[in-house]
Amino acid sequence: MSPVQLIRPKRFGDARGWFTEVYSEPAFAALGISCRFVQDNHSLSKPQFTLRGLHFQVPPHGQDKLVRCARGRIFDVAVDVRKGSPTYGEWVGAELSAENGHQLFIPIGFAHGFVTLEEDCEVTYKCSDTYSPECDGGIRWDDPAVGIVWPMPEGTQPELSAKDKVQPLLANFDSPFPYDGRPLAPLS
């Protein structure tokens, strides 16, 4: 099973709307996800094509993440940055939206980022460790060696934070993340 997983929670609907179970420890354990989440984050990105990433935290405060889009639509990406991985530098991505309810589980050892596909997107994500500024890291969103195909019109410059404009290239990153024997696979 791929370490990065696209999760499609069931929705139960009627005339009032719908209900979904976003997280259940036993259900996630059945998928091989056994981390304990200790922090929830929530972001609002006002402009379309706001790009946040590619971020991670290095040990001892690495973070597993469970990401979902609560309003709007995003393209969410995970990049394998585990030293010795046969899929090092490869990426997977999926559209997450309030409408589809999909979530992306991104384990420790993967850089994470997303671009908003419409205005006023809200993204929530659970983390398995708290924010640690001294462990904060990232790589460039547009690193040609990674080659992420961001779904933006050609020539579009995304809205970026000052930090994301100057992240290092993957070639300049000495990964502290070990390979666990599970290569990255396409999302199913």
Q: Domain residue spans in the chain?
A: 5-12+19-172
CA–CA gap between residue 3 and residue 110 (Å, rounded):
9
On the question of pLDDT at 188 being above 90, the answer is no
pTM attached to this predicted model: 0.96
Tracing tokens 């390979």 back to the chain, one arrives at: 179
| CA dist list (Å): 17 to 9, 73, 121, 185 | 15, 19, 21, 34
Is there a catalytic annotation at residue 125? yes
Q: What is the pLDDT of residues 101-124, one digit of tens each?
A: 999 999 999 999 999 999 999 999
Distance separating alpha carbons of residues 96 and 87, to the nearest angstrom: 23
> How confident is residue 1, by pLDDT bands cut at 50, 70 and 90?
confident
Q: What is the pLDDT of residues 17-62, one digit of tens each?
A: 999 999 999 999 999 999 999 999 999 999 999 999 999 999 999 9
Res. 174 pLDDT band, cuts 50 70 90? very high
One of 88, 102, 112, 125 is an active-site residue; which one? Answer: 125
Of 55, 88, 102, 112, which residue is the catalytic one? 55
Q: Residue 85: what pLDDT?
A: 98
Average pLDDT in the chain: 97
Task: Examine the residue annotation and report whether 179 is marked as an active-site residue of this protein.
Answer: no
5-12+19-172 carries CATH number 3.40.50.1360: no
Asked if residues 17 and 99 have their Cβ atoms less than 8 Å apart, the reply is no
Whether the ω angle into residue 168 lies within 30 degrees of 0, i.e. cis, is: no
